[in-house]
Structure 1
Amino acid sequence: MSSGAPASTTVAQIAEEWDSYQEIPAIDEAYAEALGDQFAGQFSGATPDYLEQLAARLGWSPQARVLDAGCGTGGLTAALAARTGCTAVGLDASPAAVRVARTRLAGRPEADRVSYAVGDMGDPDLAPGSFDAVLAIGSGYWSDPVTTTRHWRELLRGDRPAVVVVISRILRPQTARDIELTLQEGLFAPHPDWETALRAAGFDIEVRDLTEPDAECVERLYAALARRLPALRSQMGDAAGQRYLAEVKVLRDEHRAGRMRRTEIVARFGGGRDTA
């Protein structure tokens, strides 16, 4: 979960906001309660099981090298490497998130196949032709899809490189309150058009709906956070703790109203089929 800000919001400002959410025990505990044994130590409804199944569908072998663009605190990056044997690189604009990711990785069996870096996922300073896939889970809100897709294409190698974007969208216009509560530009309409950008870059795309499992996760998460509101206020400050709960309430309420969609976009070169 990330947070709608005005179009002037910079990557640095978003990173600063995210820095304030790192290492808050009440938040970690709520996500752990909501996800159970699928909690990877990160604020995300994506799970290690999902990553393993995704890798199997796309044929990622232990020799694959995958960029996790917008990796946050890196739990999913490490889980991907642990479940599939691939090499995974996490990139995030938040220095605090990357610091947490590196600390949590230390001593884990997959540590030799995982690394993290601070940087702009939309314009990564990484070697061309060095990845078999780019994965962006819940991070495709602040980067322009057209320019970002072009930069990612330069990173890819192999016969059938892939880009996977998992993104949530709310099917109503953004209000002033939404802007106040959230930093996820594009969560509300107008939405970033990844599908068109990926097609224009020469990818074939396949789209799957992930709304139902996401709605179930958000329900559990809101309930777990609401029970911890006193702790959130204590650990984050009264206003920030109340705001964090309000952010999740927006997501829960939109799911309940049937206005929220969670979408997986798989884009590949060569032989793909377009089901969007």
Structure 2
Amino acid sequence: MTSGSEASAERLSQQEAEDGFYNDTSEFLAELSGGSLHMGFWESASDRATMAEASRRLTELMAERIKIGPGDRVLDIGCGTGAPAIQLAQSTGAVVVGITNSPAQLRLAAEKAREAKVADRVSFRCEDAGNLGFLPQSFDAVWLLESIMAMPDRLAVLRQAAAVLRPGGRLVLTDFLDRAASSADAQQGDAPQYAVLMGKLMSLQDYPLLLEEAGLVPVEITDVSDRTVARTLGCMRQRLEDDRESLTQRFGAQVVDQFDNIVLRLEAAGFGYGIVVADRPGQ
């Protein structure tokens, strides 16, 4: 049995690994993933969308599900370099607050908001997702776009999200999934950076109970693996091959080689990808 101090040390160690990884590689990962630190979404095998277009489409799908309008307040937990938060504010008129534990991401996100001229409606701050410093019921919606899998305790984060949601407010997230073929190697890879990207996988079937334990009511739980994972990793691998020289000049050979290894491991892992929507009960 793991003691409380050992569990706390394990969580701290994972958090430190995440901080270092994203501080060092956020800008490079954004390059590979079309500007946002998340998967793309393709309608079909014949869909010719670029990685950037497919990435924006996934953000659009999330925005459609979150059901907000002008002036509504949205908390973006794990905002990355800010592109989804900016797109959400532009498309809905909402006020978005993004949080991250990475100073590098915070800097890049703030720069993007100023460049997009939405800094009056989109702001970013360093914050612990497991211990949010916001007033209860202070947001109309919360989303976690490809961030919850990197957090040590999903339930703790979902409870925090539920607490800051107003009654009737909505939560939308995406998560990496254990699809049976994914597991041991994916979760125990020998590269720390790989473990940070994957986190601890869970099954989509486990989400209803998890949401209920957090005080949320499940609305939609959808597996979109076939429209996201393989095409995204293929686009990343192609970009690494086609633009290796320019990427190496900008980011260094160590980072490029590191992501070569990460993409190969992710392709071999067989993990899935899901969209989860839930509401906080009440009016």
Common fold, TM-score beyond 0.5? yes
Q: How far apart, CA to CA, are the structure 1 residues paired with 2:227 and 2:25?
A: 24
Q: Deviations over 1:225-270 (max 9, x none)?
A: 222334444444433321112112222333xxxx321011111134
Out of 171, 195, 201, the position equivalent to 2:214 is: 201
Q: Could you list the runs of 4 or more consecutive aligned residues of structure 1 that deviate by over 6 angstroms after TM superposition?
A: none
Aligned AA (1:229): R
Question: Partners in 2 of 1:261 and 1:164 — Cα distance?
Answer: 17
Residue 256 of structure 2: aligned partner? 241
Contact 1:22 1:97 in 2 (8 A): yes
Q: 1:53 to 1:147 in 2, by over 3 A?
A: closer
Map of 2:3 onto structure 1: none
> Match of 2:195?
183
Identity %: 25
Counterpart for residue 229 of structure 1: 244
Is 1:66 matched up with 2:60? no
Structure that is richer in helix per residue:
2
CA distance in 2, matches of 1:185, 1:28: 14
Equivalent runs, 1:72-83 vs 2, <5 Å? 72-83=80-91
Q: Give yes or no for contact 1:95–1:118 (8 Å, CA) kept in 2.
A: yes
Contact 1:105–1:111 (CA<8 Å) still a contact in 2?
yes
Report the RMSD for the aligned CA atoms in angstroms.
Answer: 2.7
Q: 1:95 aligns with which of 103, 121, 139?
A: 103
For 1:42, what is the secondary structure of its paired residue? coil
TM-score (normalizing by structure 1): 0.80
1:218 and 1:123 map into 2 onto residues whose CA distance is 32
In 2, the alpha carbon distance for the partners of 1:144 and 1:122 equals 8
Q: Displacement of 1:99 after TM fit?
A: 0.4
CA–CA distance in structure 2, aligned partners of residues 73 and 248 of structure 1: 20
What TM-score do you get using the length of structure 2 for normalisation? 0.78
Preserved CA contact (<8 Å) 1:232 1:242 = no
Distance in 2 (CA, whole Å) between partners of 1:243 and 1:70 is: 23
CA offset digits 1:180-214 (Å, max 9, x no partner): 44133764556796543211133221201121221
In structure 2, runs of 5+ residues without a counterpart are 1-9, 41-54
**2:224 is aligned with 1:210:** yes
Residue of 14, 19, 23 corresponding to 1:15: 19
Amino acid aligned to 1:19? N
Where in structure 1 are there 5+ consecutive unaligned residues?
1-5, 33-40, 272-276
